Amino acid sequence: MEDLFANGIDATTGLPFLSGMTLDDIASIAQGEKINPASLADFYSQSRRKGRGQLRSPVEGVNPDNLAEAGWGVIFAANLDAERQALEPLLALRRQQAGIRYREFSGDYAFATNESKQGFLKMRGAATSGPVEPARMPFYLLLVGSPEEIPFDFQYQLDIQYAVGRIHFDTLEDYARYAATVVAAEEGTVVVEPRAAFVGVLNAGDNATPISTNQLIKPLAAFLASDQKDWEVETLIEEGAYKRHLLELLRRKQAPALLFTASHGMTYPLGDPLQQRYQGALVMQDFRRGTGLPDPLNQCFSGDDADGLNIAGMIAFHFACFGAGTPARNNFYGYAKDSPGKQPVLAERSFLSALPKRLLANGSLAVVGHIDTAFATTFSYGASTAAYESAIKSLAEGKRIGLAMDYFNLRHAELSVGLTVTIDKEQRLKPEVRKDLATRWLYNNDARNFVVVGDPAVKLPLAADPAVKSSQLQRKITELEQQLAHLKDQLDKLPK
């Protein structure tokens, strides 16, 4: 069967990541994988809800945009007291917004090592499947901790039912900076104009980037320009997608509110000293295959480049291998030429990529990207871009990022149900059925592994948003009241 093309470049060889993998390999992997039975109830529930015209959301009658109704919660890994203190301004804001539907799981209630999604919810009084009941567990849940402390699998499973995001920074200062950014956006001190930029790399001699640029970036840019007439849409494609062009874009006085990129992500082998720093960095147009190894400093957009950018209030999407993070073991079960039947070891421990962490620490509200591999090939086998279109449309119309990502979670749920039926039905499949199974398995992993780094309740602080205008007005009223109180105090001190 056909070869697959991943959006990743091996930094040590300059060659494509996972080169030589075919749909037939994927079909064999899919037939050997058993979907977690505990998740199937959620998959079926979400599929039924879509059949009734509903998205993943709280129970009927709850407005998912209103935190006082939908709720907001934070799940800490154990022993993160200092990190919790650094996040206090954000927690105080969400506590005020969500009221009685604010929940905090820290201290004795923090996430315990190796807890399953079902175990976590059950021990804290929430339903383990079905629509979310915010009175028992908030719809928006922020995970705080590394994927070693709170595993990616827990995040994937929780995200089927809830709107989930994650943060994990290297310093307490970065936690505090991110908290301040979200508070500023919610209170209207940070606002963005309706501008979007779509960046599509087309590396010479490459197979993956022409697919992701021509079948994802170009259609998405055209869709947003047509659908949102008041938005300014800019494209940086091929010769416009050099690193210097992206840096110029993000250093403007008005950087885009929404950034969507498609490129290769840098990959490093197990034990490489540069893996934590550059894995998932975006390989820009500067790199030409066959002319040497990709240079992370001059040919890639990495976490090193985040300082000094004008990205306050921005939300970014990155279609690239490891754009959001790296699991210790590859999700593509069984693909290891030196140890067939085992999961290839990718890293000494699972980790979030440096790029999204540094973007959040420098003003971005959220970054959406892949954990593990992103396959451009999925778009060449007829996969719809509807989930991507729906997500960016939702953000442009002022919805929260966790709700905007609902379309990917529904896709994950639907595909998982279908895959379970196909895999269990027959082990020896006809070639055409194997191809269909393989492509659906890829779509399923693409949807599952596309995650939010950041608070899932953030939304673009668009200047025209009534909530932003209201926050700005309230802040002005508060300032005037403080000035009036000061003048009154001065008058009282004057001689009678």
Split the chain (496 residues) into runs of 10 and give each run's mean pLDDT: 74 81 62 51 44 57 93 97 98 98 95 89 85 93 97 90 95 98 96 97 88 93 97 96 97 94 95 96 92 92 96 97 92 49 79 98 97 74 75 96 84 55 54 66 71 97 68 54 67 68
Specify the CATH number for the domain of residue 182.
3.40.50
Dist CA 37 CA 11 (whole Å): 38
- Is 475 contained in some domain? no
pTM for this predicted structure: 0.85
Please tell me whether residues 241 and 175 are part of one structural domain: no
Helix, strand, coil percent content, the chain, rounded in steps of 5:
45, 15, 40
Please tell me whether residues 199 and 146 are part of one structural domain: no
pLDDT at 408: 77
How many domains does the chain fold into?
Answer: 2
Q: Output the CA–CA distances (angstroms, integers) from residue 418 to 160, 411, 412, in the order listed.
A: 16, 11, 10
Please tell me whether residues 173 and 69 are part of one structural domain: yes
Q: Which of 157, 186, 215 is the last residue of a domain?
A: 186
- Is 144 contained in some domain? yes
Dist CA 381 CA 434 (whole Å): 13
Please tell me whether residues 287 and 161 are part of one structural domain: no
Please tell me whether residues 43 and 96 are part of one structural domain: yes
- Is 459 contained in some domain? no
Q: Which of 169, 186, 203 is the last residue of a domain?
A: 186
pLDDT at 414: 58
- Phi first, then psi: give them for residue 351, nearest 5 degrees: -155, 155
Q: Give residue 350's domain range.
A: 8-31+190-454
- Is 490 contained in some domain? no
- Is 1 contained in some domain? no
**182: three-class secondary structure by DSSP:** helix
Decide if 21 contacts 4 (C-beta within 8 A).
yes
Pick from 366, 374, 444: nearest CA to 410 = 444
**234: three-class secondary structure by DSSP:** strand
pLDDT at 51: 44
Dist CA 230 CA 460 (whole Å): 15
Please tell me whether residues 194 and 181 are part of one structural domain: no
pLDDT at 113: 84
- Is 274 contained in some domain? yes
Please tell me whether residues 247 and 323 are part of one structural domain: yes
- Is 27 contained in some domain? yes
Please tell me whether residues 215 and 248 are part of one structural domain: yes
Please tell me whether residues 22 and 171 are part of one structural domain: no
Furthest CA-CA distance within the chain: 99
Please tell me whether residues 22 and 52 are part of one structural domain: no
Please tell me whether residues 365 and 335 are part of one structural domain: yes
- Is 3 contained in some domain? no
Decide if 159 contacts 132 (C-beta within 8 A).
no
Count of helix runs (H) and strand runs (E) in the chain: 19, 16
Please tell me whether residues 279 and 326 are part of one structural domain: yes
pLDDT at 7: 86
